[in-house]
Amino acid sequence: MSGEEFVKPQFTGGRVTRIEDARLLSGSGRYLDDIEFPGMLEVAFVRSDRPAAKIVSIDVEAAKQVPGVMAVFTHTECPVMLPDESNHVDQPVLAVDEVRYVGEPVVAVIAENRYIAEDACDLVKIRYESIEPVLGIRDALKPETRTVWDDRSNVMFHRERKTEGFDAAFDNAPHHLKDTFKLNRQTGAAMENRGCAAMVDPFSGRLTVYVGHQSPHGLREGLAEYLNIPENRIRVVVPEVGGAFGIKAGHYPEYVVVIVASQKLRRPVKWVSDRTESMLADYHARDNIHDFEVAYDDDGRVLAVRDHLMADVGAYPAVPFSGAVGETSLASMILTGPYSIPHLHTVIDCTFSNKAPLGAYRGVWGPPASLVQEGIIDRVARALGKDPVEVRRMNMIQPAEFPYKNPGGLVYDKGTYGESMEAALDLIGYEEFRKRQADLRKQGRYIGLGISVFVEPTAMAASEAGSIPYEACTIRIEPNGTVTAALGLGPSGQGHETTMAQIIADQLGVDMNDIVILHGDTDSAPFGGGTGGSRSGTIGGGAAISASKEMRDKLAKIAGHLLEASEADIEIESGKAFVAGVPSRSLTIRELAQTAYTDVKRLPEGVTPGLEVIARYRPQRPMTFSNGTHIAVVEVDPRTGFVQTVDYAVANDCGKLINPMIVEGQIHGGVAQGIGEALLEELKYDENGQLTTTSLVDYLLPAMTDVPNMKVVHLETPSESAGGFKGMGEGSLIAAPAAVANAVSDALEPFGVMVAELPVTPEKVREWVSQGSVSAG
C-alpha cells in the first residue's frame, strides 16, 4: 500500500505529542536499575589494567572471604565464549590466559550489594606478564609489528574494489589532489549506562533477562547459542532505555556473566555499569583513517576518487556487528554520496589492536563517508578558486538520473538532493552570509559556513540490530473496542509508541488514545529485527499498516454482514463502521468487537471468533534512501582556538512524515551529537595503551550552550514502501560533523587551513593557524 493509499489520515503526519513523555518526564519510567527483586545480588568486575599481558595467576581467596560475597567467578567458573564465525576470533566473557585491552573483564564478584562486591574486587590479586601493545592502525599494518592474535594477521578484514575504467579516468584527468582524513575514537555516551539483570523461575526453570537493548529477539537468539539453552526457555525484557545509539545493540560479556551467576546461585542477579566502565568497555566507534586521492577537471567536476579506508577493530570483533567492518565497508559503497562521480577505487583494511572493540554508533559509516565526500568538494573548490556551492551544483545527481546506481553499487531511489541544498541555502541566507563574512574578516573576526549534502541508506536488512529483513506487528482489538498492538522493535527514545499508534489509529479509524503499543518483551512481541539502521519507521511502520489492513478487512466483513451491505461499501472512521453514504447505518468498533468475542453466532460464515491478527512486512527494495542538506555557521577565534556553532539550517527529506515533531526531535538530537563529534568528543589512549578519558570531565559532551537554534524545513519524496516512509534516525549525525568541519575550514581559509581531523579542538586550531598549512590534520 503506497503513501497515496492511506485511509483518510487524521493522526499520521500530525504534530502529535509523544505518548511516552507523560511517564518519562514525570519520573515514572522504569529503567534497568529500577528493577529489584527479593534476594537480588549484584556484580562488580575486576577489569584488566593492562592493554596486553599474559595472565600468570589469579588469586581470589581473600575476596571469597569477605562477608556478603556469594561467589567469585573467573573463566574457570564461567567458561563461555562469544563466537565470531566470520573472523574465527572468539571472545571469552572472562579473560583466559591473556588480556587484550584495558577494561576487559577478568574476574566477577557476586555479592549482597555492589558496595561489598567492589570492596572484594580490591582484594583480587592478578599477576600479569606484560606484552608490547599494538595501538595504531598504521603500525598494525606493518609486517614487523607483533600480532594481537598469535595465529593470525593483524588485518582482520581486507577488501578492494575498483570500477571499470578507473585507471584511465584517474590518470587522464587534468587535476589531482590528495589528503588524509582522521576520525578519532568516541562512544555513544548514553544517559543511562549499560546494565543487565537475570533471574531463573524456580518452578518452570525459565530464564528471564532484563537488559537495555535494541534487539530483544536478536539478543535472545544469541544467548540461546552462547549458553546452549532453547530459545523458548529464555525471556528477554527491555525496560525503558535511556539512549542506545548502537552501543546497546551489542552482546556483551557482562550480560552472560550475570546470567550464569543467576543460574548457578539460583538468585536474581544485577549489574549496572558506572561511567568509567562505560568508557572503558562499551563498544567504541569511529577510529578511522582515509587516505584519499581525487581526480577532477578544470570546471570542478570530480571524475574519480581513490580511498584507502582503515579502521581499528579493537582486540575483538564486536558481537554481533563489527563497527570497523561496518563503518568502512558501507562507507566505501556510498563514498560519493549525492554526487555523480563515475569512478571509485576503494581499499579497506580493518586491523586488530589492544584497544576496546569497535562497535556500532549512530550513523556508523555515515559521518566518515560524509566527511570525505564533502571534504573532497570543498578542496576541489578551493583549489580552483570556485564557490563550493557551484562545485556542488555541478556534481549533483540530477532528478532525471533516478533511479541512480552509484559507483559503489548502490541504487538510489528518488530523492531531492539538489532541491534540499537550495532550500537549506535559502534558510541560512547564503548570499547575505558571504557579505557579512567579508565585512567581519576586515574586523579580525572569522566566521565560516559548511555544507553537507547527505544520502542515508535506511530500512536495511543488515544492521547492528541484526539481519532480519522484515518486521512483525500483532494487533488485537479487545472486547471493549480498545486496541493492543505489539511489535518486534527495540525503541530507545525514538517515540515508537506514538508513531506506531498514529499509523494504526488512521488505518483502523479509532482514536490513538485507545491504542496501547507493546514492545521489548519476547514473550509478548512477535519476532522481529529490533531497532537499528533507521529501519523502524519504514519496516515497522509497514508492519503496522499491514496488520491494520488485515484487521480493517475483518471488521468490514463483520460489519457488512451485520448491516446487510457489501463489505466493499463499508467505511470505518471515528470509531464506527458504516455504510458509505448512509452514516446512520453504523456499528461502533466496540459493538463489532463484542460480536466477535461474545456473540459469535452472529459472525458471517468463515469468519473466526475474536479480533487478533499478525502481519509481517518486508519492503520490496533492500533499502530506501533519505537525503537532505545541513549547513553550519561557526565563529572561530584564531587566538584561543575556540569554535562556536552560531547558526544551523536543515532541509530534510525522509519521505512521508509520520510525526514532524518527532522527526525534528531526531534532527535536533543528531545535530547535537554531530557537534560533539566534530568539536568535543574523543576517547584518548596514551602511548602505553591506557585510556585517559574515563569520565565526563575528560570526555566532553555538548552542552546546551554548544547547540544553536536550528531552522528546519521538510521535503517529502515518498518511498516505494508501505506508507511512503523513509528512515531518518541517523541522517543528522551523518551530516552534521562534515558541515561543522567544513565551516571551520571556511572560517580559517585566510590561514590556509583545511580541516582533516575530528574532533576540532582549540589546541589543533591554534596549531593549524600557526602553521598556516594548506591542510590541517
**Could you read off the pLDDT of 79-101 as tens digits, one per residue?**
999 998 888 899 999 999 999 99
Instruction: Give percent of the chain with pLDDT exceeding 70.
Output: 97
**Could you read off the pLDDT of 337-388 as tens digits, one per residue?**
999 999 999 999 999 999 999 999 999 999 999 999 999 999 999 999 999 9
For the chain, the maximum distance between any two Cα atoms, rounded to a whole number of angstroms, is: 87
Q: Which one, of 259, 112, 264, lies nearest residue 197 by Cα?
A: 259
**Residue 8 above 70 pLDDT?**
no
What distance in Å separates the CA atoms of residue 576 and residue 471, rounded to the nearest whole number? 29
Count of alpha carbons within 13 angstroms of residue 306, beta-carbon side: 13
**Residue 560 above 90 pLDDT?**
yes
The pLDDT confidence band at residue 751, using thresholds 50, 70 and 90, is very high
Would strands 404-405 and 269-272 be described as parallel, antiparallel, or unpaired? unpaired
Q: What is the pLDDT of residue 772?
A: 78
Provide the mean pLDDT of the chain. Answer: 95
Count of alpha carbons within 13 angstroms of residue 81, beta-carbon side: 10
Would strands 515-518 and 125-130 be described as parallel, antiparallel, or unpaired? unpaired
Q: Which one, of 617, 529, 535, lies nearest residue 219 by Cα?
A: 529
Question: Between 115 and 493, where is the model more confident?
Answer: 115
Tell me how far CA of residue 722 lies from CA of 133, 486, 616, 766, in angstroms: 51, 18, 12, 51
Q: What is the pLDDT of residue 5?
A: 43
Q: From the CB of residue 266, how many other CB atoms can be counted at a distance below 10 Å?
A: 11
Q: What is the pLDDT of residue 87?
A: 83
The pLDDT confidence band at residue 208, using thresholds 50, 70 and 90, is very high
What distance in Å separates the CA atoms of residue 166 and residue 345, rounded to the nearest whole number? 7
3 state DSSP class of 115: helix
Q: What is the pLDDT of residue 3?
A: 37
What distance in Å separates the CA atoms of residue 71 and residue 64, rounded to the nearest whole number? 7
Q: What is the pLDDT of residue 2?
A: 36
Tell me how far CA of residue 317 lies from CA of 53, 91, 283, 353, in angstroms: 19, 8, 10, 11
What distance in Å separates the CA atoms of residue 351 and residue 138, rounded to the nearest whole number? 9
Q: With 0-12 CB in 10 A as exposed, 13-18 as middle and 19+ as buried, what is 201? A: exposed
Q: What is the pLDDT of residue 462?
A: 61
**Residue 774 above 50 pLDDT?**
no
Q: What is the pLDDT of residue 4?
A: 40
Helices (H), 228-271: 253-265
What distance in Å separates the CA atoms of residue 400 and residue 3, rounded to the nearest whole number? 22
Count of alpha carbons within 13 angstroms of residue 82, beta-carbon side: 23
Q: What is the pLDDT of residue 391?
A: 98
**Residue 280 above 70 pLDDT?**
yes
**Could you read off the pLDDT of 437-493 as tens digits, one per residue?**
999 999 999 999 999 999 999 988 666 556 788 999 999 999 999 999 999 998 888
pTM above 0.85, yes or no: yes
Average pLDDT over residues 500-506: 97
Q: What is the pLDDT of residue 151?
A: 87
Q: What is the pLDDT of residue 111?
A: 98
Q: b/e string for 66-94 if b means 16 or more Cβ within 10 A?
A: beebbbbbbbebbebebbbeebebebbbb
**Residue 1 above 70 pLDDT?**
no
Residue type at 771? Q
**Residue 624 above 90 pLDDT?**
yes
Interaxial angle between packed helices 731-747 and 660-679, expressed in degrees from 0 to 180 and rounded to the nearest 10: 50
